[in-house]
Amino acid sequence: MNLFTKLIPILLALMLTLSACGTRETADSDTTDGTDATTTAADGNTAPDGGEGKDDTRSLKTIYDGFMAKVDAEFPSLVETPVNRDNFEYYFGISDRSIAESTYVSEPMMGAIPFGISMLRVKDGEDAAKIAAQMKSGVDPRRWVCVTASYVETVVNGNVILLVLDDDSARGAAIVEAFRNYQ
């Protein structure tokens, strides 16, 4: 056997190990109402005053952009990730999609960085605080296979729930605080 023949199994094993750390399941995008979008509210809607207890009609992307602009921290390159029936539980820690009016997920382009922001607008009549608690206890902080988020927190602002997973507690807390105070 030559050296090349001996190295092939080692290289294959190394490639499989590395690829497992950076992959995640994806599928066609849909929201709870079956449309092909990650948010169902339209950009540009007028918003109420915001804050705790008030329903917000702005798109989740608009809200995300607004509160993230107030966070003074370094972030990895983030991308919007489509949410669908196959990955809903992965991002929100709950399986009941019927409670969601719209969703928004932002995560790093690289799959092995323990950071993720998931936003969910609850439908009218749903208990956002109860759902937030279920999300926090149900989400897997080790979902990236090779790394773990040490900071896991949910917060409610009106009818929107924010779930933050981060390996930097100070940055995670700053995101939660910015969302909590965002109007």
Is pTM beyond 0.75? Reply is: no
pLDDT digits (tens, 9 = 90+) for 135-167: 999 999 999 888 999 999 999 999 999 999 999
Lowest mean pLDDT among 47-51, 126-130, 174-178: 47-51
Three-class SS of the chain? CCHHHHHHHHHHHHHHHHHHHCCCCCCCCCCCCCCCCCCCCCCCCCCCCCCCCCCCCCCHHHHHHHHHCCCCCCCCCEEECCCCCCCHHHHHCCCCHHHEEEEEEEEECCCCCCEEEEEEEECCCCCHHHHHHHHHHHCCCCCCCCCCCCEEEEEEECCEEEEEEECCHHHHHHHHHHHHHCC
The pLDDT of residue 183 is 85
What is the average per-residue pLDDT within 168-183? 96
The pLDDT of residue 3 is 62
pLDDT bracket for residue 6 (50, 70, 90)? low
